[in-house]
Amino acid sequence: MAGLTFEHGGNIYEAKRRLGKEVIDFSANINPLGLPRYIRKLLSGNLGSILHYPDPDAKDLTKQIARYWGISEENVLVGNGSIELIYLIIAAFKPKTALIAAPDFSEYERALTTVRSRLRFLRLTEEEGFGLDLSRVKASDIFFFSNPHNPTGNIIVNSCDKIEKLPNKTVVVDEAFMDFADYEEKYTMIKKATRLKNIIVLRTFTKFFALPGLRIGYLIAHKDIIGMLKRYQAPWSVNSLAQIVAGSILNDATYMNKTRYLIKKERDFLSREIAKIDGLKPFLSEVNFILVKIEKKEVTSRRLTERLLQKGILIRDCGNFRSLSNRFIRIAVRKRSENQKLVEAIKNILMR
């Protein structure tokens, strides 16, 4: 795609500067429950930790992540969000050839350009429900895809066994949204990644645990891969507060259950209401966002995004996703009152 830009959702700072007021952010797929009250107290109560260097190995958090998944600590590497880990993998492996699902998270492509990888794209089509046909995967040094898929929200690979047989030297599965999915244990590649040297799984605290500003994520891989990646990771990459908060919220089963209940209920509501609007087609999603196709010829994703922003609502224009077009938008699932505001705003725009 000529002129591809690497913009993301969640730039509320620019939106507020343009609008001069607060906005409701449907562009970033963050847990609408926000931070539990005890996390706010935990943050304020640990401000003294910033007077010291953070634990360079994030040992306590690594132990907690390993315990949570029932795996060894030597299979876990904590990083400054999954973004740092994507760039770290590429810097360490320096793949000459790379395959990327398309559409998908654009940072895979941008990171791979830093080592001048020769890129190929495996196109996921609307006609096939944006599914990933593993029989079409061609050999490469590295293969990136997200599961659940961004921007569709679908589980695009439901068989862990097929992944290890792919003709790629390394397969990176980005599970940034897997926490939201039903039957997470069935679909996650985490256990397989601990045993095999050709699979790396990315995870983040950004989405499900609503911690985008703290920058905290981790990856799961074979111990030899972890050892190699550590040699490339910058020291003190994960700040003290992020380590403390992530370790605490990972043990909060109540918060997790409330989140999954809320997201399922509001996703179903939002999908139904969007489907009722003439000219919009929502796609099936299993996570906390919905991809929507605009079928009205006179309305583009950019135009709808701009009109909604004027009403104080920020959505994700998907026109810059490789293999998509200016006919697609993505909307995050938020609380009922906010979801209703979005639906009414879209109706007002499209029904004029």
Convert the pLDDT of each residue in 331-342 to its tens digit: 999 999 999 999
**Residue 323 resides in a domain:** yes
pLDDT tens column, 129-139: 899 999 999 99
CATH number of 337's domain:
3.90.1150.10
Q: Give the chain's domain count.
A: 2
Task: Mark whether 114 and 227 lie in a shared domain.
Answer: yes
What residues make up the domain containing 118?
Answer: 53-249
Percent of the chain topping pLDDT 70: 95
**Residue 48 resides in a domain:** no
pLDDT tens column, 109-119: 999 999 999 99
Task: Mark whether 29 and 61 lie in a shared domain.
Answer: no
Task: Mark whether 268 and 240 lie in a shared domain.
Answer: no
Residue 3's pLDDT is what?
45
Task: Mark whether 154 and 65 lie in a shared domain.
Answer: yes
Task: Mark whether 185 and 94 lie in a shared domain.
Answer: yes
Residue 262's pLDDT is what?
98
CA dist 113 and 327 (Å) reads 27
Tell me the torsion sign for CA atoms 191, 209, 173, 197: negative
Task: Mark whether 21 and 112 lie in a shared domain.
Answer: no
**Residue 301 resides in a domain:** yes
Sheet holding 199-204, edge to edge: 76-79, 217-220, 199-204, 168-174, 140-146, 97-102, 118-123
* Tokens 């994700």 sit on residue: 316
> Taking residues 186-198, what's their average pLDDT?
96
* CA nearest to 184, candidates 74, 284, 69, 283: 69
Task: Mark whether 265 and 228 lie in a shared domain.
Answer: no
CA dist 254 and 286 (Å) reads 20
Domain boundary among 249, 276, 291: 249
**pLDDT-based confidence at 160, cuts 50/70/90?**
confident
Domain boundary among 249, 274, 299: 249
Amino acid at 164: E
Amino acid at 225: I
> Taking residues 176-187, what's their average pLDDT?
94
**Residue 288 resides in a domain:** yes
Query: Who's near 115: CB < 8 A, 6+ residues apart?
Result: 90, 91, 94, 95
Task: Mark whether 235 and 308 lie in a shared domain.
Answer: no
Task: Mark whether 148 and 181 lie in a shared domain.
Answer: yes
Residue 352's pLDDT is what?
67
SS3 of residue 230 by DSSP = helix
Give bridge partners of residue 329 from the DSSP assignment: 292, 317
> Taking residues 206-220, what's their average pLDDT?
96
Residue 14's pLDDT is what?
74
**Residue 41 resides in a domain:** no
**Residue 40 resides in a domain:** no
CATH number of 236's domain:
3.40.640.10
**Residue 42 resides in a domain:** no
Task: Mark whether 297 and 210 lie in a shared domain.
Answer: no
**pTM for this one?**
0.94
Residue 1's pLDDT is what?
41
| Helix axes of 336-350 and 253-275: crossing angle, nearest 10 degrees | 20
> Taking residues 190-209, what's their average pLDDT?
97
Task: Mark whether 167 and 258 lie in a shared domain.
Answer: no
Query: Who's near 181: CB < 8 A, 6+ residues apart?
Result: 148, 155, 187, 286, 287
**Residue 2 resides in a domain:** no
**pLDDT-based confidence at 8, cuts 50/70/90?**
low
Task: Mark whether 170 and 317 lie in a shared domain.
Answer: no
Summary mean pLDDT of the chain = 94
Domain boundary among 214, 233, 249: 249
